[in-house]
Amino acid sequence: MKTLVTAIQKGGQGKTFATCHLAFDFQERGLRVAVIDLDTQGNASWTLAGHDSGYPASRMFTAGGDELRAWFAGREDDGLTLIAADASLANLDKMDLAQAAGALRASIEALGEFFDVCLIDTAPSLGVAMTAAVLAADYMLSPVEMEAYSLQGMKKMVAIIGNLRKQNPKLRFLGMVPNKVDARKPRHVSNLATLQQAYPQLILPFSVGARDSIAEALGEQMPVWKIKKTAARKATQEVRALADYVFTKMEIAQ
Ligand SMILES: Nc1ncnc2c1ncn2[C@@H]1O[C@H](COP(=O)(O)OP(=O)(O)O)[C@@H](O)[C@H]1O
Ligand SMILES: [Mg+2]
């Protein structure tokens, strides 16, 4: 099983959008997909509620592999399985980071007996949960809006990734996805150009536009390609391009 974490320590960038759409796309490819929602806001848990396993995300840090195996062994699913956010995630910040990361790694290893790919959605703060997820993951993706505060958040994230990679050398940073880009806004165009210049290796070679149909789809608990509107077509192309890129980079074996 390959594990991807979607992280940036700023809200509203598109972490949950990306996690849910990668999950839907990978499910359609016939992969067995697990999504772990580590954000107490529970946005991914809402969008993927129809796929809930009943196993709470906080148990990934406290229960151990045996409980997890007992829960998932023989369980029927439709290829997409949610490990939903629960209130106890808030207690993680009291936990020792090394202990939390170790426990999460062990739980992910157990999950690997049942799934091909694991996607982790994180909260917009650099707490124990997000840090442990980055320490346990194989791949990381960071969506980012083309606004000043977001770019500041991105710069901090780049420094943090550098540090965390020392503790998790297998981590591969797939890059930043410019998200909610409005080509009619000169500010977005110039921020994108600045970012591409500053981090040529880290910015993905495409972006996702500000598309109302994406927000609509997440609220309707479905991928944007199931929204029957002409306006959803462009969004679908962009999101499929993102999924193709991530799928290829992750080299997921079935
Ligand atoms: N490309 C996009 N176009 C339009 N709306 C988007 C896009 N990506 C995300 N959104 C919306 O923006 C808000 C923040 O996105 P979300 O994925 O929840 O960010 P995060 O998880 O980083 O906080 C949500 O309401 C979501 O529906
Ligand atoms: Mg989110």
pLDDT 10s digits, 196-245: 998 889 999 899 999 999 999 999 999 999 999 998 999 999 999 999 99
Query: 82 in ligand 1 pocket by Cβ < 6 Å?
Result: no
Share of the chain above pLDDT 90, in %: 87
Q: Can you tell me whether residue 206 is helix, strand or coil?
A: coil
Q: Which of 6, 10, 15, 17 to mutate to test the pocket of ligand 1 (most atoms within 8 A of CB)?
A: 17
Query: 239 in ligand 1 pocket by Cβ < 6 Å?
Result: no
Q: What tokens does 80 get?
A: 């997409």
Q: Supply the DSSP string of 88-125, one letter for each residue.
A: GGGGGGGS-HHHHHHHHHHHHHHHTTT-SEEEEE--SS
Q: What tokens does 147 get?
A: 């606004």
What mean pLDDT comes out for the span 61-85? 96
What atom in ligand 1 is closest to the CA of residue 179? 1
What atom in ligand 1 is closest to the CA of residue 219? 27
CA angle at 17 for the pair 75 and 245, rounded to the nearest 5°: 85
Please state whether beta strands 117-121 and 139-145 pair in parallel, antiparallel, or not at all (unpaired).
unpaired
pLDDT recorded at residue 94: 95
What class has domain 2-250? alpha beta
Band of the pLDDT at 154, cuts 50, 70, 90?
A: confident
Query: 10 in ligand 1 pocket by Cβ < 6 Å?
Result: no
What atom in ligand 1 is closest to the CA of residue 8? 22
Indicate whether 254 pLDDT > 70.
no
Domain spans in the chain, listed from the N-terminal domain onward? 2-250
d(CA 85, CA 184): 37
What mean pLDDT comes out for the span 74-90? 96
Backbone angles phi, psi at 37, to 5 degrees: -100, 110
d(CA 108, CA 102): 10
Distance 228 CA to ligand 2 centre (A): 24
Query: 11 in ligand 1 pocket by Cβ < 6 Å?
Result: yes
